[in-house]
Structure 1
Amino acid sequence: MAPAQSAAIKPAVVPASPHGDHAAKIGPNAVIQLIQALTAAGLDDAAKQIFAAAGASDWLARPPGEMVDERPVAAIHQAVRRLLPPDQAIAVLTDAGLRTGDYILANRIPKFAQVILKLLPAPLAARMLVKAITAHSWTFAGSGRFSGQVGRNVVFEIAGNPICAGEHAESLVCVWHAAVFQRLFQVLVSPKSRAFEIACGAHGDAACRFVVDWKAVPERSCAKAAASGAAPSTCCGCCAESAEPVSPDSGPSAGHVISSKAH
């Protein structure tokens, strides 16, 4: 399908000279797996337009193999949302996130650690996995401020998420991150796990917020949010009641579950 301008997404303002030497870095799989997803969807021609619009055509020919400047990565993800029809953009970015999760499972989490996590009760496995993800959040959050909490479910937040920096949307757009979280939790905690973004910086929220529930599909809103008049796309926080912040430095080697190599 030919790219189409989405009325819901305004073009992002990407800083000049996106390949600056002092830019924050993000893992290359934010690009590599997106290329794979575009190819799998039969969108090779659209991919050329997307990467050209982001000023990153060279990456389409030679995907990066190490940590890269987060700004052209953001420009690519935002170009996907801007140039593809909304449903197609969501499908491609979701597939890219799932592929990124699969890559992490195949290459960055030792097999023995995966076996241990799968044997643990889901709440304990979730806590261990959150610690590991938090310890290595720089690989997918870049300059964003990442936090993770575990309660009845898991809540991740990325304040200043670079992937949607400068973007203004009528919907929640960070499906790539949600898909990465979902794949990891489905394989290592419970196949019932589902991840949703419930607040987004591009939508005007203070941070991008994701809920992961390993028991059932979580509600996108809740009774308390409705009673308070909150927008349906936001959460009052009751889904994280009794949640505790998770430190990557606490617990039995939790931070070493995921390899420190570039994701």
Structure 2
Amino acid sequence: MTAHISTSELQQAAAAQPGAQVGPNAVLQTATALRTLVGEAECRAVFARAGLVHHLDLPPSRMLPQDEAVQLFAAILGHFPTEDAKRILHEAGRLTGEYILANRIPELARTILPRLPVFLSSRLLMQAIARHAWTFAGSGAVTISLRWPVSIRIGNNPLATPGCPWHLAVFETLFRNLVSANTVFIHTDCCCHGTSCRSEFRLRSHS
């Protein structure tokens, strides 16, 4: 049976760490995904539900309180059927990953990482992701494993949603461009099931 996480449960996670922040792309790229997939009117309805319409009129350019991203993700879950919500969050994560690739990854790294063996490039990229974990995990406790296959765990993940499609899409976008086009991230554990969120890097079979 699929676990259900309520809006109030998501918001409680953020309230526990009121000073924590996340990167603005958690909101900016979600707005883009909503506009693309469901249109401007539905986008504004979701942002109004989250109390964040002002971010549509004046897009944020600095770090944001994590509870704003939590409220937005919760509004998406509450406004749309489950599969539609997952599709929107996944697209928002993909766009966030694309932004990071274009604006936050040094050109040298973009050139070198894809040329390295996968077992090495995956470890180097995972270490880099962990160093900037606060941008996508807020107050969550991030740990990584460099044993093959590499994985990342977010304890008390404030941005957790069932299956964490946003996080998976961010990781997959980065790894598909910098490690292997055959990358798949598997969400093996989720805060929505009462444990920490764990995502594991894998390679798709060619068969």
Q: TM exceeds 0.5?
A: yes
Aligned to 2:201, what secondary structure does the other structure show? strand
Q: Distance in 1 between matches of 2:159 and 2:5?
A: 14
Counterpart in the other structure of 2:111: 115
Shift of 1:133: 0.4
Q: Distance in 2 between matches of 1:140 and 1:50?
A: 21
Amino acid in the other structure paired with 2:158 = P
Q: Distance in 1 between matches of 2:98 and 2:127?
A: 19
Instruction: Say whether 1:77 aligns with 2:73.
Output: yes
Shift of 1:123: 0.6
Q: Distance in 2 between matches of 1:78 and 1:195?
A: 23
Paired residues of 2:26 and 2:69 also in contact (CA < 8 A): yes
Amino acid in the other structure paired with 1:125 = S
Paired residues of 1:148 and 1:157 also in contact (CA < 8 A): yes
Q: Quick check: which has more Rg, 1 or 2? A: 1
Counterpart in the other structure of 1:239: none
Counterpart in the other structure of 2:199: 210
Identical residues among aligned pairs (%): 37
Paired residues of 1:9 and 1:82 also in contact (CA < 8 A): no
Paired residues of 1:78 and 1:163 also in contact (CA < 8 A): no
Structure 2: segments with no counterpart, 5+ residues: none
Counterpart in the other structure of 1:126: 122
Amino acid in the other structure paired with 1:72 = E
Shift of 1:8: 4.4
Q: Distance in 2 between matches of 1:52 and 1:195?
A: 32
Instruction: Please give the per-residue CA displacement for 1:92-139, whole angstroms capped at 9, x wherever unaligned.
Output: 111111111110000000111111101110110011101100111111
Q: How many corresponding residue pairs?
A: 200
Q: Distance in 2 between matches of 1:40 and 1:102?
A: 16
Q: Distance in 1 between matches of 2:8 and 2:43?
A: 18
Instruction: Say whether 1:147 aligns with 2:137.
Output: no
Paired residues of 2:142 and 2:152 also in contact (CA < 8 A): yes
Instruction: Please give the per-residue CA displacement for 1:179-234, whole angstroms capped at 9, x wherever unaligned.
Output: 000000001000000012221112222x0111111x226xxxxxxxxxxxxxxxxx
Residue 11 of structure 1: which of 7, 11, 26 is its match?
Answer: 7
Q: Which moved more, 1:121-130 or 1:22-31?
A: 22-31
Shift of 1:146: 0.4
Shift of 1:155: 1.2
Residue 30 of structure 1: which of 23, 26, 43 is its match?
Answer: 26
Structure 1: segments with no counterpart, 5+ residues: 1-6, 218-263
Equivalent positions of 1:1-263 (< 5 A) are: 8-13=4-9, 14=11, 23-164=19-160, 172-205=162-195, 207-213=196-202, 215-216=203-204
TM-score of the superposition, structure 2-length normalised? Answer: 0.90
More helix by share: 2
Instruction: Please give the per-residue CA displacement for 1:13-56, whole angstroms capped at 9, x wherever unaligned.
Output: 536xx8x9x61110000000000101111332222221112111
Q: Distance in 2 between matches of 1:35 and 1:62?
A: 12
Amino acid in the other structure paired with 1:184 = L
Aligned to 1:198, what secondary structure does the other structure show? strand
